[in-house]
Amino acid sequence: MRRLLLIACLTAAPGLAQEPAFAQEADRDYLTAFLEDTLSDAGRQVTVTGFAGALSSQATIQQLTIADDQGVWITLNGVVLDWSRSALLAGELNVRELSAQEIIISRLPETGDGTPAVEASGFSLPELPVSVSLDRVAVERIELAPAVLGQAVTGTLEASMQLSGGEGRANLDLLRTGEGPRGEITLDASYSNATRVLGLDLVAQEDAEGIFVNLLGVPGRPSALLRVQGEATIDDFLADVTLATDGAERLAGSVQVQAAEPSGHRLLADLSGDLAPVLAPEQVAFFGTEVALKLDARRTAAGRTTVDRFDLVTRSLTLGGSAEIAADGLPEWFDVTGTLAAPDGVPVAVPFAADTRLARADFHLKTAAGDEGWSGEVTLQGLDHPDLTLARAELGGSGRLGRTSAGNSFGGTLSLAASGIAPTDPALARALGTEIAGSLRLFAREGAGALQLSGIRLDGAGLTLAGAVKIEGLEDAFLASGKLTVQADDFARFSGLAGRPLGGSGTLIASGSASRLSGFLDLDLAFDGSGLSLDVPQIDRLLAGRSSLAASIRRDDSGTVLRSLDLVAGGLVAQADGTLSNEGSDLSGTVRLDDLSVLGPGYGGALALEGSFTGLPEAGRLQLSGTGQSLRLGSPQADRLLAGESRLELDLGVKDGALQVRSAELANPQLSATARGEIAGDLRRIDLEARLANLGLIVPELEGPLTFAGSATQDATGYAVDMTGSGPGQIRAAVAGRIANGFGSADLAIRGSGAAGLANLFIAPRSASGDIGYDLRLAGPLTLASLSGRVTLSNGRIVDPDLGLSLQGVEAIGTLQGGSLQLQATSGLSSGGRLRVDGPIQLTGARDADLALTLDALRLYDPELFDTRISGALTLRGPLLGGALLSGTLALSETEVRVPASGFSSAAALLDIDHAREPAPVRETRRKAGLLGDADGRATREQARPLALDVTILAPSQVFIRGRGIDAELGGELRLSGRTDSVIPAGSFQLIRGRLDILGRRLVLSRADLSLEGSLIPQISVAASTDSDGITSTVTVEGPANDPVVRFSSSPELPQEEVLARLLFGRGLDRISALQAAQLANAVAVLAGRSGEGLVGNLRRNFGLDDLDLITSEDGSAAVRVGKYITENIYTEVEIDQEGKSQINLNLDLREGLTVKGRVGADGETGIGVFLERDY
């Protein structure tokens, strides 16, 4: 109203003053400016465009906009004021029409900060010096952007207002038009100062899918109606409130305002209803079918508010209480109680957090009248959230509210106890544990803008937080200062969160201040750790004892200052300090480790580094210098290179974010390398030189110096490269050409020669030798597809100790083109025969290959197991990185499988030895021998990329099994499928003819099979049978050829020794002589080697012998030894070897420690001796 009068007076003033016409234009400009300045305010800028008609009864404004700090939020177009100027002289403001063609609201304005006055003001219409009549207020089109109500809305407005003599009436009709459901808001209001009667009838209604049901997310988006209606004196005004959807009442009641005390008032509210139909399903259990709100509050003219009653009741919530609040906002007393619990005890969804459920919550906060003390407690039970469940939590507190000369204050102590904490993330659950307890003291004073938190204590599973914090500038800077201590008993609890095993304990102390809003901080940090581990062996050993980290840092608008950074751990000492800013940085630091052996086996020596950085990230200088003394890194080759004193000097420049080498130097007795850079205009050049005094330090086969020299020059288009190298063994290399900026492409010629032995560094324990030549060109992107040319290997030799094979006389040519290698190679096998390989291999992706392998009489043999020659053709097709298929047909020429006389190797078993402070060369030797027992050793190395198999092996005849009396010829066919790491054989080589010789008896074999089951050791199964006295006796030798098992069986079933007796002598065990018993044992030795101890033991017991043993003579042949005590001091012993030769030994014990021994053999050799024995 104030602004309407202002506009009216301004438009009337020129006419009333009867100013000359020549001043009208200036007056209009003056009035426009005056109008804008008067209507604008802090955070509100009003702009008037096209103000006309100041001297007529109809004033117009072409456009009026109102803006806040974010810009224009409302625009009025075509504003018209049609009024009576003469009526204003009679004391009336008579407006026939106040209209606008269009009002556009693009968003809601920013809300300004303001504090309401504490004093209450009475209600009355303003007593104006003129009566006001607005016959018509109209807006032809109102447009609201989606940012205002969530969807675009258009509508119209019609209104009128009369205000005269202390009485007023207003009517309003706001109608939604255009697309979308119908909506309308009507208002009919009136008031008289004389009668103090207020009339109010407000109706807001929308069809289904309307604005407000969408804003509130009402299920089903029903039609809605809100009505507030009442007519009574202002001293006892009662309004009825009704809320309905789809024509059904949902909430109803009354709001009453009564006069209370002079200039005071009382507010009464009583609302209830069933809101379930307008609630989301997950909220129905909380609110139920009846919600009730009752309020009885009083406010005095002085601003004191008394809530005599407040009750809110839903199905699962009961909240009530009373309070008295002074005019300054400080409570005089209060008593508030609440309970959240479903009547049936089922956990209920918390409103506005549907994914959180609670079984029960209780709340009580109170203070006594006239007492400044307060107390409260909150208890939660059965909290269930998708990320966490909580059995119980209790929050309690007590303190004081008071007034001081400095202002109102609030303080107290809070305590927390939570149990049954169970995060759904197992890693977080292990870190948090199941219980947390804590406490703190807090204090705040009105006007100070600060909150003090002291006595902070939080205890969890192996984790403790303690300290004190003061938070200042709560309304602006939010500056926190204080000291906090965090102690962790075992970092292993946090392994899951870190994604790696952790260990150890530690304490962190942080003190200082920081502001979350401005980014300011000034902190001192100190960490002490013990037994820390990060699952990195070298770092873990370094941190095994006590370690400490201390830092002091400050950050403000001028930059960051690292006052100090100190790290001490296991002999490592590091220090840094400096400044960082947008104007330039200056950082420096040192690192020293006096004994690298703390890092683990193979490490040793001393290391010291010093570095600095000055300037900006895009334009600065980095310098690094260091020395090392007798460094050892666990690699024999590297250790040999770093022996003695090593020195490093590095000076780098940074320009436009790119590194530039000013100078670099690395020097020690074995290795020297230098780099020098220079800049001339747009050209940048770097010269490189390196020399290894003796390549034999890393490749023993190549003794002599290795040198490298060259340059790289950068211009606007890229780098020009020209580098050469030379060394022993005809090593020559040359690289020349250009590389584009960004290293996206290149055009390089790469030529040279070298020794295949250089590859031994990467293929150990395998080894290679021979002469390599290459003539290549890289043209295009830096990918293998851009590489073309030839690589050759001549007079090559490749050895694989795992397979016990070597290729020799290798001649190979590899042609590269378009990311493919065309291979042609021939070689001989060290044991005999030749091999040829032809075909392409893709050098990208899964390394697809299509290789043809031709085998020509390749000899495979094991001196103790087999000897064969293989010929045939194989193909290897598919991805070599996994899934390639090896297929084809192989033919065996004459093949012999030997069954050794003993199942035990002649080599002694290696002892299980722990190597203390093992030198690197020794460890390297054990690694190559596969004796480390880990992923580095052959003993446990698995085939990383197995091949699929479809190979047929043909041998129609001449496959012989010989040894242990077996002489058999077999023939047949084998098919190998599956994979190379899990072979699936089908078929076998079957018996053609054969016999088994035992003690001169020749048994015809009834069965013999030979197959393969995943290794080069054949599996054999040989059987021979004979009939005697109606009993069929069978001897079976089966198992791996290097250690088969002998079994004796019969039909009907008899003991093994009985079967053997019938097999050899045609009679039972009880009918053979002692000599035949010895022969029988010898037969077991021949057949079983040392695998027949169980059977021999049975024979010894059945014949009443003191000793019956199967032994191996010095030449490896089997023999049987029979011993028996004739008397207590005379022992006789007979030995018979597998050729039938015998020897008799006789021992005569004369007394303890004195023995006479004699022997006589079948060849007439005799001997006698006297032996004196004494134990020590």
pLDDT tens digits, 1111-1131? 655 554 667 777 887 777 888
pTM confidence score: 0.64
Q: Which of 733, 657, 722 is nearest to 695 (CA)?
A: 733
Q: What is the pLDDT of residue 425?
A: 93
For tokens 């940012």, name the residue. 147
- Give dist(CA 24, CA 53) in Å, integer: 11
Q: Which of 901, 1017, 917 is nearest to 965 (CA)?
A: 901
Is the model more confident about 8 or about 35? Answer: 35
551-575 per-residue burial string, b: 16 or more CB within 10 A, e: under 16: bbbbbeeeeebbeebebebbbbebb
Q: Which of 1121, 1130, 1162, 1169 is nearest to 1149 (CA)?
A: 1130
- Give dist(CA 40, CA 979) in Å, integer: 86
Q: What is the pLDDT of residue 136?
A: 83
Highest-pLDDT range among 128-137, 342-351, 611-620, 813-822? 813-822
Give residue-wise pLDDT tens across range 704-748. 898 989 998 888 888 899 999 998 878 899 999 999 887 889 999
1175 — pLDDT class (breaks 50, 70, 90) = low
Q: What is the pLDDT of residue 562?
A: 94
For tokens 């950050």, name the residue. 555
793 — pLDDT class (breaks 50, 70, 90) = very high
Q: What is the pLDDT of residue 575?
A: 96
Q: What is the pLDDT of residue 241?
A: 93
pLDDT, mean of residues 326-348? 89
Q: Which of 560, 462, 479 is nearest to 514 (CA)?
A: 479
Q: Which of 651, 631, 650 is nearest to 641 (CA)?
A: 631
Is the model more confident about 465 or about 116? Answer: 465
Beta bridge partners of 1145: 1133, 1159
pLDDT at 305 over 80: yes
Is the model more confident about 307 or about 659? Answer: 307
- Give dist(CA 483, CA 508) in Å, integer: 11
pLDDT at 369 over 90: no
Q: 176 with 137: CB under 8 angstroms? A: no
Q: What is the pLDDT of residue 1110?
A: 59
pLDDT, mean of residues 293-302? 90
Question: Which range is least confidently modeled, 101-115, 327-341, 352-366, 720-734?
Answer: 101-115
pLDDT at 10 over 60: no
Q: What is the pLDDT of residue 930?
A: 61
1101 — pLDDT class (breaks 50, 70, 90) = low
For tokens 């804590």, name the residue. 438
Q: 559 with 538: CB under 8 angstroms? A: no
pLDDT, mean of residues 478-491? 92
For tokens 């054990």, name the residue. 926
pLDDT at 837 over 90: yes
pLDDT, mean of residues 29-33? 72
Kindly state the percentage of the chain with pLDDT values over 90: 35
For tokens 């040392």, name the residue. 1090
pLDDT, mean of residues 361-388? 88
Q: 1048 with 1088: CB under 8 angstroms? A: no
Give residue-wise pLDDT tens across range 744-778. 899 999 999 988 888 887 787 788 889 999 999 99
Give residue-wise pLDDT tens across range 983-1021. 888 888 998 888 887 766 778 888 999 887 766 678 889
Q: What is the pLDDT of residue 293?
A: 94
Give 738: exposed, middle or buried? Use CB within 10 Å, 0-12, 13-18, 19+: middle
For residue 1145, the one-letter residue type is N
The two tokens of residue 1147 are 């021992």
pLDDT at 501 over 50: yes
pLDDT at 24 over 50: no
Q: What is the pLDDT of residue 146?
A: 85
- What are the boundaries of each domain within the chain? 1-110+124-145, 286-400+412-444, 466-471+479-570, 571-658, 720-844, 859-903+944-1049
For tokens 């324990």, name the residue. 765
Q: What is the largest CA-CA distance in the chain?
A: 166
Is the model more confident about 1088 or about 605? Answer: 605
User: H-helix or E-strand containing 429?
Assistant: helix 426-432
Peptide bond into 126 cis (omega under 30): no
The whole-chain average pLDDT of the chain stands at: 83
43 — pLDDT class (breaks 50, 70, 90) = confident
Length of the chain as a residue count? 1176
Alpha helices, DSSP H, located in 606-669: 636-641
For 237, 307, 357, 374, the CA distances from 269, given in Å and listed in that order, are: 12, 12, 31, 28
Q: What is the pLDDT of residue 1114?
A: 55
pLDDT at 304 over 50: yes
Kindly state the percentage of the chain with pLDDT values over 70: 84
Give residue-wise pLDDT tens across range 516-545. 777 889 999 999 999 999 999 999 999 999
